[in-house]
Structure 1
Amino acid sequence: MKTTAQTTFTGPDLPFDDRSGDGYDYLDTAENAGWTVIAQWGAEGYDFGAWPYVIGFARQINKGGKRHFGYGLYVEGDTTTKYFDTLEACKEAIDRDAHWFWKTGQSDGPNDVPEKFEDLPAKYRGLPTD
């Protein structure tokens, strides 16, 4: 069961990583299960995660006539999955992880990442713009 701020529902988790390969091999497993990889984040398209060790995924599902937004994270073979009632809440969870990856040097991001997530500029949040 996945718990969100407003509802509880069962959603598809990221698949278990039963391969002997690495994260690059896992990309196919997750995409074949309906997940989309998050390669870049922020308006300017900074790296999200650190492939092949840390990879983010997203998806949408409809359940009970309502859309739910999933965010999954693969970290060296371990997976976690969270669902949210709104796209904004899902993006914020991804923003928070992106901030942490960039701030700690786990991922190539902007040079001026603030210490606190609350100070992260809007241009470093959300999906890249074209």
Structure 2
Amino acid sequence: MSTQTVTQTATADTAERVTAPVLPADDRAGDGYDWMDTLDGTAWSVLPNWGSEGWDAGCWPYIIFAVARSRDVSGELFGYGTCVEGDTSTCWFRSQGACFEAITAEVFLHWASGRSDGPDSLPATAAELPDQDRRPYPGWTS
């Protein structure tokens, strides 16, 4: 597992070069539940639910979403990452709204494919979801 705690990256919404917390890599020694344990003590926390009803944001232990907030000299940074069957990826945004849109788009793909439990009646695209389903579940407290 990587011991690096920050990295240089570019924000997805503004293309700024920023230094942001690294999402821990999967060490492939366990399953997704073990990977979630690697988030303890980092800037990252697991995002279990999404939308107004708290539908699944992933499909544990195969698809796991994580989120982080950070700050640099220019202001706040909002990140989300995924661990999908051991492969991790991260995106950082200057705008929380842009981050929420990106999470919504990825969560929607998992709902539409049937890999995650989502709303019973999905629109054709993530952009057509109602506003209340394009942000974190209100009961989520991290």
Question: Could you state the TM-score of these two structures normalised by the residue count of structure 1?
Answer: 0.93
Q: Which position in structure 2 is the counterpart of 1:94?
A: 103
Report percent identity of matched pairs. 41
The answer as to whether partners of 2:9 and 2:20 remain within 8 angstroms in 1 is yes
Q: Which position in structure 2 is the counterpart of 1:121?
A: 130
Q: Which position in structure 2 is the counterpart of 1:3?
A: 10
Question: Which moves more between the two structures, 118-127 or 75-84?
Answer: 118-127
Larger helix fraction of residues: 1
Q: Which position in structure 2 is the counterpart of 1:63?
A: 72
TM-superposed CA distance for 1:127, in Å, is: 1.1
Unpaired runs of 5+ residues, structure 1, are none
- Dislocated runs of 4+, deviation >4 Å: none
TM-superposed CA distance for 1:17, in Å, is: 1.2
Unpaired runs of 5+ residues, structure 2, are 1-7
RMSD: 1.3
* Total equivalences in the alignment: 130
Instruction: Spell out, residue by residue over 1:60-98, the C-alpha distance to the aligned partner (whole angstroms, 9 max, x if none).
Output: 111114110011110111100110001101111111111
CA distance in 2, matches of 1:63, 1:17: 26
Q: 1:80 aligns with which of 80, 86, 89?
A: 89
